């Protein structure tokens, strides 16, 4: 039985039907590389995709697990992070609808297991492209360019993360995080700590200090920004 995603892409002939052309346009809005594939190859992609819908908090992949295929995120998002033996996490990046995962690509290209954890943020739908077809698609210039463009974009993000962790103090990073979430931040201290790769006790101590300086107001599972200019000044201190 075909998945919903497969039904969207199904073509009755070797050329795309009018309905399938509409589907290709819809898919192209998320993944232009797939929309530019030859019709017969696009059909094979549709037939081979394994669709998976998971609730929020589901571990989609974990360290030391084999990579079963190349994931396309159709809805929702996946949070990718490194986890220490003690349970602390360092968020690396998020894969949202229309994006894919550089670590999955790396595992497939290098024939190695995952070295990070991916967790669904909210209800998430994935479509998994099996390894053999992924290898074949790399022979298509448009798909190959798409995969390596992912590497370029994610590497830039990861280098920025390394710079922040290595050279910026935690109070600066916390101030920048709060500013990036709007006037009222709906999150627990633990959630903020997880995003910063820190521990709740340190983040709570810093937030208390921010509140004492009149920068924020602390509430139940929320932080209200009172002095955005003051937080910006703190975030930019070198």
Q: For residue 202, with 0-12 CB atoms within 10 Å meaning exposed, 13-18 middle and 19 or more buried, which class applies?
A: middle
My answer on whether 160 and 176 are in the same domain is no
Q: What is the mean pLDDT of residues 15-29?
A: 46
Distance from C-alpha of 136 to C-alpha of 133, rounded to nearest angstrom: 5
My answer on whether 155 and 182 are in the same domain is no
Which of 164, 199, 228 is the last residue in one of the domains?
164
Residue of 174 and 9 predicted with greater confidence: 174
How many structural domains comprise the chain? Answer: 2
Which of 138, 164, 190 is the last residue in one of the domains?
164
* CA angle 175–181–182, rounded 5-degree value: 100
What is the per-residue pLDDT for 167?
Answer: 63
We report the CATH number of the domain holding residue 211 as: 1.10.10.10
| Predicted confidence (pLDDT) at residue 182 exceeds the cutoff of 60 | yes
pLDDT 10s digits, 199-229: 788 888 889 889 889 998 998 889 999 999 9
What average pLDDT does the chain have?
81
Determine how β-strand 77-83 pairs with β-strand 117-120.
antiparallel
Poorest-confidence range of 55-64, 72-81, 85-94, 109-118?
85-94
In degrees and rounded to multiples of 5, residue 184 shows phi and psi of -120, 120
Q: What is the mean pLDDT of residues 156-170?
A: 73
Give one word for 221, left, alpha or beta, with left for phi > 0 and alpha for psi -120 to 50. left
> Hey, is 17 helix, strand or coil?
coil
What is the per-residue pLDDT for 165?
Answer: 67
| Predicted confidence (pLDDT) at residue 160 exceeds the cutoff of 80 | no
What is the per-residue pLDDT for 35?
Answer: 79
Q: How far is CA 143 from CA 14, 46, 148, 181, 210, in A?
A: 20, 15, 9, 34, 47
Task: Check: CB of residue 21 under 8 Å from CB of residue 89.
Answer: no
Q: What is the mean pLDDT of residues 56-68?
A: 93
Nearest to 161 by CA among 223, 80, 88, 99: 80
My answer on whether 77 and 146 are in the same domain is yes
My answer on whether 149 and 211 are in the same domain is no
pLDDT-based confidence at 24, cuts 50/70/90? very low
What is the per-residue pLDDT for 28?
Answer: 63
Q: What is the mean pLDDT of residues 148-152?
A: 84
pTM of the model: 0.64
In degrees and rounded to multiples of 5, residue 182 shows phi and psi of 95, -175
Find where tokens 């017969």 sit.
40
> In the numeric block, which tokens belong to residue 88?
């602390």
Find where tokens 């492209």 sit.
129
My answer on whether 32 and 78 are in the same domain is yes
Domain extent at residue 99: 4-164
We report the CATH number of the domain holding residue 110 as: 2.60.120.10
| Predicted confidence (pLDDT) at residue 49 exceeds the cutoff of 80 | yes
């Amino acid at each position: 039985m075909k998945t919903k995603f497969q039904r969207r892409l199904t073509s009755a002939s070797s050329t795309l039907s009018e309905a399938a052309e509409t589907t290709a346009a819809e898919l192209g809005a998320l993944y232009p590389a797939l929309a530019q594939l030859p019709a017969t190859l696009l059909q094979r992609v549709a037939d081979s995709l394994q669709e998976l819908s998971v609730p929020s908090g589901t571990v989609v992949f974990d360290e030391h697990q084999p990579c079963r295929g190349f994931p396309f995120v159709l809805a929702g998002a996946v949070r990718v992070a490194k986890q220490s033996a003690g349970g602390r996490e360092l968020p690396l990046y998020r894969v949202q609808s229309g994006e894919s995962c550089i670590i999955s690509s790396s595992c497939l290209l290098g024939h190695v297991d995952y070295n990070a954890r991916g967790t669904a943020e909210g209800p998430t739908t994935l479509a998994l492209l099996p390894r053999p077809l992924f290898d074949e698609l790399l022979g298509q210039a448009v798909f190959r360019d798409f995969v390596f463009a992912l590497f370029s974009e994610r590497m830039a993000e990861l280098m920025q993360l390394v710079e922040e962790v290595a050279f910026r103090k935690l109070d600066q990073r916390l101030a920048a995080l709060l500013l990036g979430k709007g006037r009222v931040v709906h999150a627990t201290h633990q959630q903020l700590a997880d995003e910063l790769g820190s521990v709740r006790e340190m983040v709570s101590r810093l937030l208390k200090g921010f509140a004492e300086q009149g920068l924020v107001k602390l509430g139940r599972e929320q932080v209200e920004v009172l002095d955005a200019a003051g937080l910006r000044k703190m975030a930019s201190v070198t």
